[in-house]
Structure 1
Amino acid sequence: MDDLDIPGGLLAERSQGDNSPPMSVTELAGAVKRTVEDRFGRVRVRGEISGWKRHSSGHCYFTLKDDGACVDAVIWRSGAGNLAFRPEDGAEVIATGKMTTYPGRSKYQIVVERMELAGEGALMALLERRRKALAAEGLFDAARKRPLPFLPRLIGVITSPTGAVIRDILHRLNDRCPTNVILWPVPVQGEGAAAKVTAAIRGMRDLPEVPDLIIVARGGGSIEDLWAFNEEEVVRAAAESPIPLISAVGHETDTTLIDHAADRRAPTPTAAAEMAVPVRAELLGYLDELNARTRRCLTKRSSDARERLALTSCRWPSTETLLGPKRQRLDEIGDRLPRGLSARAHKAEATMNLTAARLRPELLTQKLARLTDQLGAAAKMLPLVHPDRPLARGFVRVTAADDGRTLTKAADATAAGRLLLHFGDGEVAATTGDKPAKVERSARRSYVAPQPNLFE
């Protein structure tokens, strides 16, 4: 096939009438970017959020879509913190920003500067989806709710410091039962309100003096005004609070998600103060009633006891009846006592006279002489029975070298190992082993039998 038939040659050549050089990819991408940004410098787009993702850098990426198309969107970190609500998939919004392109991926996207929900219907739909999701996690279960303290000593109030809400709560508490109150001031609507309410709920447990009860309060308003109390972070903080919590957001007809997570919902801030404390006057009246009932019970019990004592005592015998025989017996014993003592003394005297006749000095002398002869005879027998006496006739006495006990059996000598042999003229050490023991001779201690001389 001839090269002239190919529409283009192997090398690029400038054609006749072509007075511009070819553009680079970067130049083309830049031209497209400028065109898009000039043509769509500011746009408002209505669509449904899909694929919402917050990057670790703080930037947010998502897609806006409707039934026929979709467009990528991004919110830079500086704008993400200014959102009045927390975006999530499925929410219908109106995004305001500018169109641009991303040359690195050859795509266009909208840089969102502001984003609102697309009407109250979209807001209610988002609220219902969030309510169902949190309820499915069990955050609204009745079993998680705790009873309120009967008489809290310290109440933590989270609300705006300048509104009428805090004045209404303090006034109602003072009327019912004055107690200590600590205020944590927060904005109750607008940008950043949800984050500050969340920080206040979680910060109450870290105070030097932890409150016994928390009241989160705000006056009435539209659903948009109350939206901070529908944010997920606020609801989770209320459900996780270790301190019992009363939600008093809006008027009686207003309902927010924090109402479902709180331990108790109050229709108004004033009603929250009424739930928090009892009426002091009623408590005092109740104490007076208890005091009166106690006195009546004590009086009746004392009266009944006196009546029972009177009925019982009339059946008791008189003192003379109980003690008369004992007194008479005591008088009889008192009369017999001198005679008994005199008779006992005479008997002891007679016994002593009989014994004294046997205690003559010569009887004691004879008895002492007889005992002395018996003791002398025993002393003469001592040399004859001494264990070392037979040694002079060639006998040997064997003792254990360790404890000195006398050994009379071969098994005991073998077990002792080291022996001491006692001869008539000395001692010899020995062992029961195979090797001969080193012989050590010591001078024989002569035995001299004691010769006591009694009564010298």
Structure 2
Amino acid sequence: MDDSLSLDAKLLAESGAGDNAAPLSVSEISGTLKRVVEDRFGYVRIRGEISGYKRAASGHVYLALKDDKAVLDGVMWKGNAGRLPFQPEDGIEVVVSGKLTTYPGRSKYQVVIDKMELAGEGALMQLFEKLKAKLQGEGLFDQDRKRPIPFLPKTIGVVTSPTGSVIRDILHRLADRCPSHVVVWPVLVQGEGASKQIARAINGFSGMELGGTLTKPDLIIVARGGGSIEDLWSFNEEEVVRAVADCSIPVISAVGHETDTTLCDFAADLRAPTPTAAAEMAVPVRAEWLASLSETKARMARSVQRGFATAQERLEAQRRLMPALIDLLRPHQQGVDELSDGMKYAMGQNVAQARSRFSASEGALRPAMLRQRLDTARNRLDRFDLPVALVKRPLDDARGRLDSLWRLAQQVSPDGPLKRGYARISAVDGSFVGSRDEAQRAGAVNLHFHDGKVGAQITDEPVASPKTAPKTHKSRKKPKLARVKKPADDRQQDLF
């Protein structure tokens, strides 16, 4: 080993003669570098292409600016990132303003960005084309997504600035063509926060409920006057384009003049070259519409009259081809006459046949023939002899049942008790009187006895009668049923 090297390389660090610079710590040198860099580059403007753009969950933005020879890291804190007028993307050339600083934790330097701008209209158009390609790839500009504009919207929602000439032009044109109900949602149309207000207004109209406090529009017009691409950039923001594409209400985009084009125009259901033209597209001309309705009404009337005339001509032609009514009836009249003659002939034949059958049977109805048949029947009856006991027993049974029924009838008869001294009372009209109240209401009554009836007048007080010995009633014998004597001819039996 070389002796000179062994003398210079020592195990412990020592301060040499004349060495008055104490060693610095890593933190000290890092802090010193940070102060020097921030003092020297307290405000810088840097132009470069964005690379590795990333927005953290905290809202801070991290990126790198590069050119063909170097790369510089950058950070943009949440407050400044929220005020960006556009959405940065990789590959876009920008100009940033801020200050340089170091990050001691990784021994690197970076730029803290306060403001970011596009590096000229070329960069802005580059961002426009990239965003257009992205949204077109998602199908937001497809024609099959376009919805038809209502012919006569009752309510029109307008998203625009309330103070510009755009809203006055729209209202004036609507009043000239066809007065409609207009609901204006005031927004900023350029500058910081304009895109958020425009998207919020479109989503607000789309989210209205039917039958709410405000009438939900049938059509939305998104309008702004002309300007540079930078002035119109709020209508190129992704959140505005997506709000137009997702809106549940048909949208007319009227941003700028005829030569101005925004991504909002591609996503809308219909593009108007100017806000005034949007109002003309939204509603028809009322006078022309009424004239068209009148013309349609006249054409319908002429068509109906022409149809009636044609039908009448066809009916008349058919009527001439049809035979006369009398010609149609004559064959049927002839048939009726033939049937009538046939009926007369058939009835005569039936009467003749009936008379012939009656004449043939007349001989069998002579008195001598009838007497002969009667004698024959009597002889057969004489030969038919029945035992007396066989006939008498049913008669005795029937006589007993008849006696029982007679006794029962005597017991239930209303006039049965009259023979025992009772009387039955009836009103003059014959109705039954069964109580004192009914007798008083009747006034005059009839008293029915077993041998007749007498009249009586009803009074309020009962009549007093002297005490007399009750008369004895003679016992009445039960009537006997008379027997019918048997006739001399024993062929006729006794029915009792």
Structure 2 CA distance for partners of 1:183 and 1:346, relative to 1, 3 Å: farther
1:315-358 CA distances to partner (integer Å, 9 max, x unpaired)?
A: 44433333345456657867987997898799889999999x99
Q: Which residue of 1 aligns with 2:62?
A: 61
> Quick one: structure 1 residues 340 and 225, their matched pair in 2 at CA, closer, same or farther if it must change by over 3 Å?
same
CA contact (8 A) 1:159 1:188 kept: yes
Q: Report the counterpart of residue 259 of structure 1 in structure 2.
A: 265
User: Does the 8 A contact of 1:216 with 1:249 survive in 2?
Assistant: yes
Q: How far has the Cα of 1:60 moved from its partner?
A: 0.3
Distance 1:11 1:278, change over 3 A: same
1:46 shift after superposition: 1.9
Could you tell me which residue of structure 2 aligns to residue 195 of structure 1? 196
- Residues 78-120 of structure 1: CA distance to partner in whole angstroms, max 9, x if unpaired? 1101111111122222211111111111111111111111223
The aligned residue for residue 33 of structure 1 is 34
Pair 1:344–1:21, CA change in 2 (3 A): farther
Alignment partners' CA distance in 2, 1:107 and 1:124: 33
Q: 1:328 to 1:105 in 2, by over 3 A?
A: same
What secondary structure, in the 3-state scheme, does the structure 2 residue paired with 1:181 have? Answer: strand
Residue number in structure 2 paired with 1:308: 314
Partner of 2:161: 160
Instruction: Find the aligned partners of 2:31 and 2:230 in 1 and give their Cα distance.
Output: 41
Instruction: Show the counterpart of 2:460.
Output: none
How far apart in 1 are the matches of 2:141 and 2:258? 19
Residue 274 of structure 1: aligned partner: 280
Deviations 1:210-240 (A, max 9, x none): 5443321111111111011122232233334
Select between 102-111 and 27-36 the one with higher mean Cα deviation: 27-36
List per-residue Cα deviations over 1:105-159 (Å, max 9, x = no partner).
1111111111111223332333233334444444434444343333334433222
What secondary structure is seen at the aligned counterpart in 2 of 1:84?
Answer: coil
Q: Look up the SS of the partner of 1:184 in the other structure.
A: strand
SS of structure 2 residue aligned to 1:314: helix
Aligned residue identity for 2:102: T
Where in structure 2 are the equivalents of 1:20-419 lying within 5 Å?
21-209=22-210, 211-324=217-330, 326-327=332-333
State how far apart, in whole Å, the 2-side matches of 1:271 and 1:153 are: 18
Residue type matched to 2:320 in 1?
C
Partner Cα distance (1:7, 1:92) in 2: 53
d(CA) in 1 for partners of 2:358 and 2:264?
110
Cα 1:309–1:130 change in 2 (3 A) is: closer
Distance 1:235 1:177 in 2: 29
User: What's the TM-score, normalizing by structure 2?
Assistant: 0.64
Q: In 1, distance between residues paired with 2:161 and 2:178?
A: 23
Distance in 1, Cα, partners of 2:264 & 2:242: 8
CA distance 1:276–1:345, shift in 2 (3 Å): farther
Structural RMSD (CA): 3.5
Q: Percent identity?
A: 58
AA paired with 2:37?
V
How far, CA to CA, are the matches of 1:251 and 1:31 in structure 2?
56
Contact 1:3 1:9 in 2 (8 A): no
* Number of the residue aligned with 2:406: none
Residues in 2 aligned to 1:171 and 1:349: alpha-carbon distance in whole angstroms: 111
Q: Secondary structure at the match of 1:13?
A: coil
Distance 1:324 1:41, change over 3 A: same
Q: CA deviation at 1:20?
A: 5.0
Instruction: Name the CA shift for 1:64/1:342 in 2 (closer, same or farther; >3 Å).
Output: same
Give secondary structure in 2 for the equivalent of 1:50.
Answer: strand
Aligned to 1:126, the other structure's residue is in SS state helix
In structure 2, distance between residues paired with 1:352 and 1:67: 144
Distance change in 2, residues 1:5/1:315 (3 Å): closer
1:345 and 1:205, CA in 2 relative to 1: closer, same or farther beyond 3 A? Answer: farther
- Alpha carbons of structure 1 residues 322 and 104: separation in structure 2 relative to 1, 3 Å: same
What is the TM-score normalised by the length of structure 1?
Answer: 0.69
Q: Deviation of residue 9 (structure 1)? A: 2.6
In structure 2, the residue corresponding to 1:6 is in which secondary structure? Answer: helix
Gaps of 5+ in 1: 367-456
Aligned positions of 1:6-21 closer than 5 A: 6-19=7-20, 21=22
1:79 aligned counterpart, secondary structure: helix
Instruction: Tell me how far apart the structure 2 counterparts of residues 351 and 278 of structure 1 sit (CA, whole Å).
Output: 100
Tell me the SS of whatever aligns to 2:65: strand
Taking a change above 3 Å as real, the CA distance of residues 270 and 351 of structure 1, as seen in their structure-2 partners, is: farther
